[in-house]
Amino acid sequence: METLNYEDITSEKLWQQNNQVVKIIKDDLDFYIKLNLKENNDKLVVFSNGAIDPSKSKPPVFMRSKWHEDFNANCLYIDDRTVHYKQLRIGWGVGREQRHFLVDYSEITKHIAEHLNIEAHDVVYCGSSAGGYMSMYLATLHKESTAVVNNPQCYVDRYDKVNVEKLYNKIFPGRSRDYIKKQYSLRLSITSLFRHENYVPKIYYIQNRLCLTDMTRHYEPFCNFLDKYNINSINIKFILYNNKKKGHDPISREATVDFVNKVLESKLAIADF
């Protein structure tokens, strides 16, 4: 595994680490990514993780990294350093009390895209579940980029109580839940981020309508808060499907790849719907 300082990243060094895991040192902390670069390609898909199974995978973890040949783009896979704490399965990029890792990942991604001469409008952030949350967050911080998300969480605090409390106890020890929700709302809520940034990115929000927990904890509150705070949602395309058996599980590899490639090729546009 190669180690690169954030300040020393160049196109040449990125190509030297193609198809490998790279440790990036940024502000005295190590972050892990995996790169799959393609010749003469000016597009980038950035993948974020959902929940991991610590008994099967030890961090760093790069979900969907075996799919890279299927996409008509360079691929960047992000490991969520939040779950490097033992016993955490899911982290949403929350980070540590004094440091929000999604901000670091955003800066790393934009830095890499810049050195690969990839424009923001050719960057697509992709993920499901917690990875969907991270993807919407990163797209909001990367103006003009796009997010493709499947059954995402929109509010960390609305996920199941056991995993949320594990996260809070590890990241914010000694803090009450009410204190965390108030003090760190910007890390825990997509609509809070939209309001703070005064910006909503292009989002394809793909949701299984028959996953009751997703609908009641995330989809419906998300829509309600968009309306409550008069957030302009013209850039969001909601795509509902019906699959009771699949529940929270994402759509198939083939369907995901086909959809993302169409977005990359500009064959899908928010304005078309």
Query: pTM surpassing 0.75?
Result: yes
Under 8 Å between Cβ of 240 and 205: no
Report the residue count for the chain.
273
What average pLDDT does range 244-265 have in this prediction?
97
Dist CA 31 CA 79 (whole Å): 8
Sheet with strand 202-208: strands edge to edge: 2-5, 21-26, 29-36, 74-78, 44-47, 123-128, 146-150, 202-208, 236-241
Listed range (45-49, 81-85, 130-134) with the worst mean pLDDT = 81-85
> At 90, phi and psi to the nearest 5?
-150, 140
Provide the CA 220 distance to its chain's centre, in angstroms. Answer: 20
d(CA 91, CA 48): 11
Phi-psi category of 155—alpha, beta or left, where left has phi over 0 and alpha has psi -120 to 50? beta
Q: Which amino acid is at 33?
A: I
> In which band, very low, low, confident or very high, does the pLDDT at 68 lie, cut at 50, 70 and 90?
very high
Give me the pLDDT at residue 273, please: 45
> How confident is the prediction for the chain on average, in pLDDT?
95
Kindly state the DSSP code that residue 215 receives in the 8-state scheme. Answer: I
Angle between helices 130-141 and 190-197 (to 10 degrees): 0
pLDDT, tens digit (0-9, with 9 covering 90-100), for 98-128: 999 999 999 999 999 999 999 999 999 999 9
Please give the pLDDT value at position 270: 57
Mean pLDDT of 197-214: 98
With residue 161 as reference, give the H or E element that holds it: helix 161-171
> Of 122, 252, 135, 272, which is closest to residue 193 (Cα–Cα)?
135
d(CA 103, CA 229): 24
Q: Binning pLDDT at 50, 70 and 90, where does residue 272 land?
A: low
One-letter amino acid for residue 84 of the chain = H
Summarize pLDDT for 132-173 with one digit per residue, the tens: 999 999 999 999 999 999 999 999 999 999 999 999 999 999
Tokens of 28: 């005295």
Residue 101: helix, strand or coil by DSSP? helix
Higher-pLDDT residue of 233, 268? 233
As to burial, measured by CB atoms within 10 angstroms (0-12 exposed, 13-18 middle, 19+ buried), residue 96 is middle
pLDDT value, residue 54: 82
